[in-house]
Structure 1
Amino acid sequence: MTTVSESRTNGRAAATSAAIEMTAATKRFRTPDGSSYTALKNLDLRVERGEFCAIVGPTGCGKSTALTLAAGMEKASEGSVRVFGKEVQGITPKAGFMFQTDAILPWQSVLENVAAGPRYRGVAKATAYRDARDWIRRVGLAGFESNFPHQLSGGMRKRVALAQNLINEPELLLMDEPFSALDVQTRAKMSTELLNLWEQSKPAVVFVTHDLEEAIALADKVVVLTAGPAASIKATFTIDLPRPRVVQEIRFDKKFNEIYQNIWEALREEVDIAYAQTTRSVAPDGKEAE
């Protein structure tokens, strides 16, 4: 039997727990030839509530896999993955996920796409549409409620995807290179918009990117992963740049350049290792050529 005192203690513990706690998390996948591939090994990652964490690393190092573990889309092969103090057993509640390719429905209007989440959760249609219109306005798409995805630019589609996630008031937002397909100017603008919207409700954010400048401009901390296979955390850097930030301008800050150089020193070696792995010549018998 749980006493009132114990219940209060448990409630305080849950409230003070980190958004994400991965302890010795390892993820292995079965390959087409039946062998096993280790994407992540003994990953120790902690993301606090309200913290903006960016993850960088060379191609194929398991950055996206870390997101799917937190989202509950994949189960760790070994180790522990906890979100808001609870072991991940299935799809993580109170979490939003933005993919590299937006997941908006092509046969529905902007309004219907943004209202879809609340409607699925049983929110009344009038309330869902009212809230959707408010979020469409917040992401700068007022007047486009009746448009369909094919009538929108790439940047506008990303705004729809942001509104789709944020209308659900997630406590954790997982983002897998969401702006990588955009041109440089639109990407910087969207990054600043993301920060402005994040400041309003401060969900914990884990943002995967290949762009080190983007990571520094957005995050409270940047985590560098080693080259795969069996990637782990090589280093973690605190980004003590002032907020609020304008992504297009923060890059000119002298301290920004100092932080960039420090992180690049840690990242460069892993990028070189990953590149060497993908450019090794292989003999016809499948063995590495000398």
Structure 2
Amino acid sequence: MNVVVKGKQASRSEAPILVIAPHSTFLDGGIIYATGFPSIIVRRESGTNPYIGKLINFTQPVYVWRDDPDSRQNTIKEIISRATSDLDWPQILIFPEGTCTNRSCLITFKPGAFYPGVPIQPVCIRYPNKLDTVTWTWEGPSALKLLWLTLTQPYSYCEIEFLPVYVPNEEEKRDPKLFANNVRAVMAKTLGVPVSDYTYGDCKLMARAKGMNLPNSTSLVEVQKLRHRLHLHQANVEENLLNSNISCTNCSRISFVEFCKLLNLSPNDHATQHLFRLYDKSCTGVIDFREYLLGVLALSNSRTTLDAV
């Protein structure tokens, strides 16, 4: 693969952290070599991999322990410790999106890289090929197939662009999410793509919904966000409805008024109207309430709810 590097990588003293986006393929791992083997954030299992484990350990990574409930906080503490240390640690390289996307936008950046409040160097990755054989997302070809397709191409290109170091102001130092959003905006402008409020958690939710063959699976992320806005998740409204026997004449065809009554929602609330429209795709004015309950309750963390469904 022909790699073109634009701009200049900052030193650790100038920018202790490198943030890379968009993250779209396993081939992005090549940037570890291009940036001089900085420390990476990686799952502990990867360090024991017989093929790449030794290479990962060479970078002095920050390991994430999946089974440890305190892992997230410990990871953030370690990032802060290294980024602000006077010791000769390598730079820390982070893919702030936390998952692979198709590069059509930049999804929400996780705030982990931005907690230290230190200068950060944004790094953009592009694959300006006529045929896209590299994009590896949760819904698409396997890594092996993509690797084979890439190897069959006469030429493949990758562009790595180092942007100017982003120095946070005092407000951004106090608010990692603001810092993350502002850095994302700079990178999106450079890439010429929009930003999206979707997160890694949203991607996991859609993948889980699809794996369970739930109807309307691609809309369930929006459904969950609207439920949070309407505070339905706090009162466990849907679960209580199921446990108390739903009192609707025909649950396969309920109107907007019935929908509001069942969930105790205001019909004048725009969020309520939007939630109903997500299931009223044919604009008939009625929805299948069972479909709504199935999607919401199946994705609940409550085992009793899943058993009830």
Verify same fold: TM over 0.5.
no
Bin the TM-score by the shorter chain: 0.3 to 0.5
Between 1 and 2, higher relative CO (CA 8 Å, sep ≥ 6) is seen in: 1
- Comparing both structures, which one devotes a greater share of its residues to strand? 1
